[in-house]
Structure 1
Amino acid sequence: MDAALATAFSVALPAWLVDDLDGISARPLATAPQRMSLANELADRNWRAGNGGPFAAIVVDAASGALVSVGVNVVLESGLSATHAEVMALSLAQRALGRWDLGADGAELELVVNWRPCVMCYGATMWSGVRALTIAGEGAEVEALTGFDEGPMPSDWAGEFERRGIRVSVGVGHDDAIEVFRAFGASDAVVYNARGS
């Protein structure tokens, strides 16, 4: 390894998503099903475009549904293992609002993800300052259908969020999320577990 030490990195949303942001921003997101419908749609488009896994996340104002940011998994496009959908959405929300604490000044922001966060995104979500997490589901289905390793989650993962003032809602858009994972698993898309398959 004779390469020079890296001193910076950058990452961006894929072009297809950037091109669609005006239309996405105009969508009604007042209800949890509307929010999850967007997350599931973006997750399906993302893996089919070859950017990364079948995962998407959005950050919205919990009361109004105003869209703050969107994120999709761009591990394959970026070559960076940390660029999961949650990290992208949370980081872009922090950039948009100009603060690392998304709960500052009483803000009630919600992260909406098409499945329970992996162990890395669990920590990222916990420290982000969001006040709510809405997911399509939890459990081993995502690993069984896709082959991704989600990591060793605490058995009381939702309770840990709740104790830190982060409300958790599970089951919104569950069947649609499963169909996205099923389609991914039936394809020849890359599963990028660092160790094994």
Structure 2
Amino acid sequence: MDFPPLSASFTLTLPDWIRDELADVPDVIPDLHERMALVNRLADRNWREGNGGPFAALIAESDTGRIVSVGVNVVLASNVSLGHAEVTAIGTAQARLGVWDLGGSRPDGTPQPAHELLVNWRPCVQCYGAAMWSGIRSLVIAGSGPECEDLTTFDEGPMIEDWAAAFEARGIRVTEGIRRDEAVDVFRAYRRAVDGDLVTVYNARSGD
């Protein structure tokens, strides 16, 4: 088998069905719980469509609820292990706004509004760093307990115990418990598919 040539780029692309899901969604969702409801809805559809795990994220302006970007897990669709929901939401937000710092100034030097990242569970170790360095000013999650790993069987990595305090120390407010039961229901549905061998759980070195 010939070894393929070196690649000069890779792409993380959101699935086409995202457009259908967002077709009737307003540009501004003032209510935090309604924003998380959208995240849970995207997470549930994502695994059913075969793109990746039951995870979704959203970036919005904190004060207004204006939606800047959404993201879902695209590891299976892209064959790139970096393709987590937080990464795709952060990347598409930065691409849309033309900035690498979601907490800094716009390209013309004017201040940006504060941005929040909503996720249907606490970020894994990879996305913990991605979120921290993105420039967001708040992180909103449905929950952070063992339910995610217990139900989905995904390895979320060795998170530090004071992970939330580390965000707060960097000026990133953490809000937890928004539509938690709804998020867990998505994980339960995914687990039934896992037990039925209907989905691929892509933990690294899962065969070792």
| Band of TM-score, shorter chain | over 0.9
The worse-fitting range, judged by mean Cα deviation, of 178-187 and 2-11 is: 2-11
- Structure 2 residues without counterparts, runs of 5 or longer: 105-110
Question: 1:27, CA displacement in angstroms?
Answer: 6.3
Partner of residue 115, structure 2: 109
Q: Which residue of 1 aligns with 2:12?
A: 11
> Larger C-alpha radius of gyration, 1 or 2?
2
Distance 1:27 1:106 in 2: 17
Give the match for residue 67 of structure 1.
Answer: 67
* Amino acid corresponding to residue 8 of structure 2 in structure 1: T
Displaced runs of 4+ in structure 1, greater than 3 A? 19-22
Offset from partner CA, 1:105-129 (integer Å, 9 cap, x none): 3531000000000000000000000
Aligned partner of 2:108 in structure 1 is none
Aligned to 2:153: 147
Looking at structure 1, the residues matched to 125 and 153 of structure 2 have their Cα atoms a distance apart, in angstroms, of 16
**8 Å contact from structure 2 (residues 40, 186) kept in 1:** yes
Amino acid at match of 1:165: G
**Aligned: 1:163 with 2:164:** no
1:196 CA displacement: 2.5
Structure 1 residue 42 displacement after superposition: 0.4
The question of whether the paired residues in 1 share the 8 Å contact of 2:28 and 2:64 is answered with no
User: In 1, Cα distance between the equivalents of 2:134 and 2:55?
Assistant: 19
Q: Distance in 1 between matches of 2:181 and 2:29?
A: 19
Report the equivalent of 1:45.
45
Tell me, yes or no, if structure 1 residue 174 matches structure 2 residue 180.
yes
Matched letter for residue 8 of structure 1: S
Separation of aligned partners in 2, 1:190 and 1:11 = 19
Return the offset for 1:190: 1.0
Identity of aligned residues (%): 54
**Deviation, structure 1 residue 149:** 0.3
**1:63 Cα deviation (Å)?**
0.6
* Unpaired segments ≥5 residues, structure 1: none
1:82-101 equivalences under 5 Å are: 82-101=82-101
Q: Are residues 1:195 and 2:205 paired?
A: yes
Q: Aligned partners of 1:116 and 1:61: how far apart in 2?
A: 20
- Structure-1-length-normalised TM-score: 0.96
How far apart are residue 98 of structure 1 and its match? 0.2
Count of residue pairs brought into register by the alignment: 196
**Alignment correspondent of 2:144:** 138
Q: Give 3-state SS (helix, strand or coil) of 1:145's partner.
A: helix
Equivalent runs, 1:14-29 vs 2, <5 Å: 14-24=15-25, 26=26, 29=29
Does the aligned pair in 1 maintain the 2:117–2:140 contact within 8 Å? Answer: yes
Contact 1:28 1:34 (8 Å CA) reproduced: no
How many angstroms apart in 1 are the aligned matches of 2:124 and 2:133? Answer: 14
1:185 to 186, 191, 194: 191
Deviation string 1:47-92 (CA, Å, 9 cap, x unpaired) is 0011100000000000110000000001111111001000000000
Q: Which amino acid aligns with 2:7?
A: A
Match of 2:9, as an amino acid? A
CA-atom RMSD in angstroms: 1.3
Aligned-partner Cα distance in 1 for 2:92–2:27: 19
